[in-house]
Structure 1
C-alpha cells in the first residue's frame, strides 16, 4: 500500500481534455501519490479538480505543510484554489506562481453559477482553518495587480492571523494593466490592510 510521497508535483500543462471524468481521475490520483510534505499543482488542475460530481465535501485532507500553486489567476481557477486551501489544514507555506496557462473557455463547467471571484474571496469568503491557524508564510511571484490577484491577496492578508512573512514579487513585464512600478504600487496598497512582515520587490 502506498503510504504517500514526501513531495509531489503534478503538471498537466499539455493535457487537452477538460472534463468531469478527468476530475474524478485527479481525485483518485491524489490518494495514490498522497503528498506528505509538499505539493505543486498547475493551472489545469485548478480548473478541472472542481468539475467532479459532488466534489464539495469530498476534498482530501493532506498532512502537507507546503503548497505551490502555478496559476494564471483566471476566474475558472478560483474554486480550485479554495479546494486546495481546504484540503491542507496544516499548511504553513503557500507559494503562488503567477503566469500564463491554458484556460478551457469552451469545456470548463463552473460548480457555482454565476462564478464571481469577488463574492468568493471578499463579500462572502469561506475562511479555511489553515489560513487562520497554521499559515505562516506566503510568497506571490509575478504579481500584476489583476482583480483576482488583489482579491486573493486581500483575503490572505485579512484572514492570515498567524502569518509572519508575506512576500509579493511583482512582474517585470509590461501589460495592459501597466508596468512594474504600477504593480508595486498596487501591491503596497493591498499590503496596508494589515500589519505584517511585508516585502515587495
Structure 2
C-alpha cells in the first residue's frame, strides 16, 4: 500500500450495522491512509459520521489532499470535524456540494444510520473543542464548489477561517459542482452548476459580504470568490 498515490473508496450499496464490517473498514482506511490523495464516497462519509456519534475508535490518517462529494447537511458535520482532527498532514481540502433530494432522509434511516443527537450547524461548531493539528500546522488550501450558500457550508467556512492558522487560500465557487447520477450515491463525471435562481447577483453579493466579514486566524489567508 505504501506505493499508492491517488485512491478513492466507493460503496455500491448501504452497509447494515455490523461490528465486523466496521473493523474491516477501519483496517482498509488505515491501509489507504498512506496515499497522499484520497476521495471517499457519501456512504464512506456516513460510516465515519457514525463512528464519531457512537464513540467508535477513529484511525489516524496521513492524507495530504482530501476531496469530498456530498450534500453538506448537518448530519455530516461530525465526520468533517473528525476528519480534520485525525488527518494530521492534511494540506488541501476540496468539497463539491450538490443539492439534496427528497428521499435522502428515508434512505439514511433505511440504511440504519440513526443519529445519536440533533443539533444545528451553528451550535455544533461552537461546541467543538479539542486539538486540530492540521489546522494549526498544515491546512493551506480549501476549495468549496457548487451549492456554497447553504447554511452548513457558510458555517464550515467560518469555522475554517477562524481556526486554520496557516491557511493561504480558500477558493469558493458556485459555478461548478459534481452532479449525482440516477438516485445512487456515485462518483459522476458530469460537471454542472447551480440554477440561476440560486446564483442571483443579490444573493451572491450578500454571500460575499458575509464571508469577507469573518475573522481569520491566518493573516495570509486570501478568499477567492469564483
Q: CA deviation at 1:179?
A: 2.5
1:136 and 1:165 in contact (8 A); partners too: yes
CA–CA separation in structure 1 for the residues paired with 2:79 and 2:38: 14
Secondary structure of the residue aligned to 1:190 is: helix
After TM superposition, the structure 1 stretch with the greater mean CA deviation from structure 2, 136-145 or 166-175, is 166-175
Q: CA deviation at 1:35?
A: 3.3
CA–CA separation in structure 1 for the residues paired with 2:144 and 2:97: 7
Query: What TM-score do the two structures reach when normalised by structure 1?
Result: 0.82
CA–CA separation in structure 1 for the residues paired with 2:52 and 2:156: 26
Q: CA deviation at 1:180?
A: 4.4
Q: Which residue of 1 aligns with 2:49?
A: 50
Q: Which residue of 2 aligns with 1:105?
A: 108
Q: CA deviation at 1:80?
A: 1.4
CA–CA separation in structure 1 for the residues paired with 2:30 and 2:142: 26
Larger Rg over CA atoms: 2
Structure 2, gaps ≥5 residues long: 176-192
1:197 aligns to 2:222 (yes or no):
yes
Cα distance change of structure 1 residues 57 and 17 upon mapping to structure 2, 3 Å threshold? closer
Query: What TM-score do the two structures reach when normalised by structure 2?
Result: 0.74
1:95 and 1:139 in contact (8 A); partners too: yes
Residue among 164, 168, 173 paired with 1:160: 164
Q: Which residue of 2 aligns with 1:114?
A: 118
Alignment of 1:26-175 (within 5 A): 26-52=25-51, 56=55, 58-100=57-99, 104-106=107-109, 107-110=112-115, 112-121=116-125, 123-126=126-129, 128-171=132-175, 172-174=193-195
1:179 aligns to 2:199 (yes or no):
yes
Q: CA deviation at 1:18?
A: 4.8
Q: CA deviation at 1:28?
A: 2.3
Aligned CA RMSD, in angstroms, stands at 2.7
1:50 and 1:80 in contact (8 A); partners too: yes
CA–CA separation in structure 1 for the residues paired with 2:86 and 2:58: 6
CA–CA separation in structure 1 for the residues paired with 2:205 and 2:108: 30
2:85 and 2:132 in contact (8 A); partners too: yes
CA–CA separation in structure 1 for the residues paired with 2:97 and 2:54: 25
CA–CA separation in structure 2 for the residues paired with 1:105 and 1:38: 27
1:20 and 1:53 in contact (8 A); partners too: no
2:71 and 2:97 in contact (8 A); partners too: yes
